[in-house]
Structure 1
Amino acid sequence: MTLKLRSVGTSDRGLIRSGNQDALHAGTWLVAVADGMGGMAAGDLASSITIGSMAPLDVETPEDALVAALQGGIELATQRIRRAVGEDPERQGMGTTLTALLFARTGSCLALAHIGDSRAYLFREGVLKQITRDDTFVQMLVDQGVITPDQASSHPRRAVVTQALQGEDVSPTYATMVPAADDRWLLCSDGLSNVVRPDTLAEVLAGYPDRAECAHKLIDLALRAGGPDNVTVVIADVVEE
């Protein structure tokens, strides 16, 4: 028996925004979420460029090459965003978050790449853990002890990101982990995590075994909470086959 990744993803414009600047990939080996920023057309372009740059990584990859593969995808996305900005000065300042998970062909390891404030959560044995750390101004204040996590959730500057893919040199966070059977991963844009509490996320991840039903329930909860932003959800289960 080997471990495999099975995923599904969905995205919604939300109830306020006129378009959707999020993009996602939900594949056999790779799952990823990108949340564009910097004006309507430009944010949409930045996220689609980034997911398009990462998508070719959705192949069997040796575990010792996972991080290098993610780094290569991010470098390609950075180059393509830089080129797009150079082609049209009005795109200056466009960018995107990225949270991506790459599963090894052996099923024995996975690697995570993260920049911005989209999130990856791991639901394991009934416990939900946020694996990524937001690259945001308010997270910096939390780290410094200036405000509490509860205060951060309603802070007026909670949407200010300190790092994103914008065609310039950046320092994404990379990590490797050992997967376990029945792990459930949630990757999402802040359109979900800003309006649905972690305890509610955990209830839904536990209560909806079907991946597609789980993803749609989370989208529905974000919309019921006002849907102030685009909301994107990827559910990825580690299964034995």
Structure 2
Amino acid sequence: MNVAIRYAAGSDIGCNRENNEDSGYAGARLIAVADGMGGYAGGEVASSTVIGSLRSLDTATPNDDLVESLGRAVAEANEKLRIVREERPDLSRMGTTLTAMLWSGRSVALAHIGDSRGYLLRDGELYQITQDHTMDELLKEEAKQAGGHADPAETSRLSHVLYRVLDGRDDREPDLRLREARLGDRYLLCSDGLSGPVDAQTIYEVLSAEADPRRAVARLIQIARDNGGPDNITGVIADVVEADHLTEPEQAITVGAAAQA
């Protein structure tokens, strides 16, 4: 049985920001979310540069080259950030998170760096399939390996401090792995502007209740706004369906800063 993805994407400036530094993309073989940072223009440039660079991946890719192709594309996007930083000294502090999935039938490569997130709804259960690259998570992991517990006050203070992002510098390696998609899977990629104000239980309820991916994205964004919307809000959903159920090709969707680039 051939499988494909039915997808949707949305982005919102939120309630407290003056510009949207998030970017998102959804296509037949690629979905991605990037959350930019680095000042008024820097975040927009960083996220849109990375998403713009990755869009060329939205084409047929051999299964045996899926992870390598995604890894190379992320490295190339990071190199483009380096060039922009050299040309624009005013953007020297820019950077971006990235969570992306590249599809080939049931095989899907996942790349992740930063604190945007990937979720999987499968068989009535919600799983977070990425690990935040924040200092609090790093301290928790180090304490766990040492057989202890991290100081809650310290981890709370560092919960939004990133230790891995794409910023044009060397050795910015994402987590990379290959996954197997199943018919009926629903994937959500989102910036922390969504996963922060909207808890996992609510994400589960919306993803379970809203069959249409467009309505599900819109509902999650609205809930984030209703809960204060302190940051830009971006979400991309991909449903794994039988290819024969897609009657006509869907247009690729670009949202956020990348849509204006």
TM range (shorter): over 0.9
1:157 is displaced (CA, Å) by 3.0
1:21-40 alignment runs, 5 A limit: 21-40=21-40
Aligned twin of 2:140: 142
Alignment pair present for 1:16 and 2:20: no
Greater mean deviation of Cα atoms: 24-33 or 133-142: 133-142
Runs of at least 5 residues in structure 1 that lack an aligned partner in the other structure: none
Alignment pair present for 1:131 and 2:132: no
What is the distance in 2 between the residues matched to 1:128 and 1:158? Answer: 22
Distance 1:139 1:214, change over 3 A: same
Deviations 1:196-217 (A, max 9, x none): 1101100000000000000000
What amino acid is the match of 2:228? G
User: 86, 107, 110: which one pairs with 1:109?
Assistant: 107
1:171-182 alignment runs, 5 A limit: 171-182=173-184
Alignment pair present for 1:82 and 2:86: no
- SS of the aligned residue for 1:40 comes to coil
What amino acid is the match of 1:157? L
Deviation >3 Å, runs of 4+: none
Q: How many residues align?
A: 236
1:156 is displaced (CA, Å) by 3.7
Aligned twin of 1:68: 68
What amino acid is the match of 1:135? H
Deviations 1:155-182 (A, max 9, x none): 2432211100000121210011111001
TM-score by length of 2: 0.88
Alignment pair present for 1:218 and 2:216: no
Contact between 1:63 and 1:108, CA under 8 Å: does it hold in 2?
no
Aligned twin of 2:203: 201
Identity %: 45
Aligned twin of 1:160: 161
What amino acid is the match of 2:164? Q
What is the distance in 2 between the residues matched to 1:133 and 1:12? Answer: 24
User: 181, 184, 187: which one pairs with 2:186?
Assistant: 184
TM-align CA RMSD? 1.4
What is the distance in 2 between the residues matched to 1:38 and 1:156? Answer: 20
- SS of the aligned residue for 2:41 comes to helix
Distance 1:147 1:103, change over 3 A: farther
What is the distance in 1 between the residues matched to 2:140 and 2:210? Answer: 32
Deviations 1:122-159 (A, max 9, x none): 000110000000000111122223056xx96xx24322
What amino acid is the match of 1:50? V
